[in-house]
Chains A and B, each alone.
Chain A
């Protein structure tokens, strides 16, 4: 029993090492370059550009979901796109996080009245950070990543429990 407390799952040694790994993970978040709509120009391209610069946070874009930690859902998700988003989310390896960027990904946005639009990507994948705006400024996206980094560092136990 005592040994279990030390080395078993959710134990002292193990949780500390997972926290250490999370500290490393948060400083090197690779996002999937997956721009659905207008928000992609601001939050993926402009925010990664020279003025706003994601790279100083360690954030970089990857082309394949198999190599990324974060999926930024930037744009409206509709009935045709939803299975694609879900499949991409499933293809990402653990641990993974989702940022719902923009009004459309949060709640359907200006297009929520149209029957073809899904009112928020959280109906398709679990979301960690919601970023309001239409489109959110690149500084908002950087703040979102800073919030995500805080969440990763402080919520290790919850993430392990939810697995």
Chain B
């Protein structure tokens, strides 16, 4: 559906959003508190597939991206939200069970949390590992990896 129809869905769920059309496609930026409501409305409005969900460390905050798709029309939509370091976004697993694993991964690799998740355990790393995908955590330097 055209971007305006998507905006109508978001407006009817009273979600403040900032629409944009970039090289990536249709991108809607919303606040972290509105994610659950917005995704619920979009799922009811035809976006039946959560293609991917991931988070990026922008240097000042963590930006979470939800890539949705309406399979019948092959229409893609990117929902982006920004949350502070160690912030929280309500889990969307009831709307899209596909989000179960990516939320656990984003939580442990970037240090945010998803309250409402049924199984908020670490997915990929052991206890005590630092949030490895943050830009502040550096990879090993050449001296450390030298074969001695």
Contact = CB atoms under 8 A, between A and B. Distances in A.
Interface stretch (B37-45, B49-57, B69-77, B124-132): B124-132
B140 A107 contact: no
Give the bracket for the number of chain A residues in contact with chain B.
10 to 19
Interface string A84-124: 00000000000000000000000110001111100100000
B139 A119 contact: no
B23 interface: no
Contact of B140 (A79, A80, A115): A115
Nearest to A81: B126
A116 B145 contact: no
Interface of B: 124-126, 129-130, 132, 137, 139-141, 145, 147
B125 A80 contact: yes
Main secondary structure of the interface of A (DSSP, over half): loop
A113 B129 contact: no
Interface of A: 79-80, 107-108, 112-116, 119
A98 B130 CA distance: 31
Nearest to A119: B145
B87 to A, nearest CB: 24
B132 A113 contact: no
A119 B148 CA distance: 11
A100 to B, nearest CB: 13
Contacts of A108: 145
B145 A113 contact: yes
Contacts of A116: 125, 129, 132
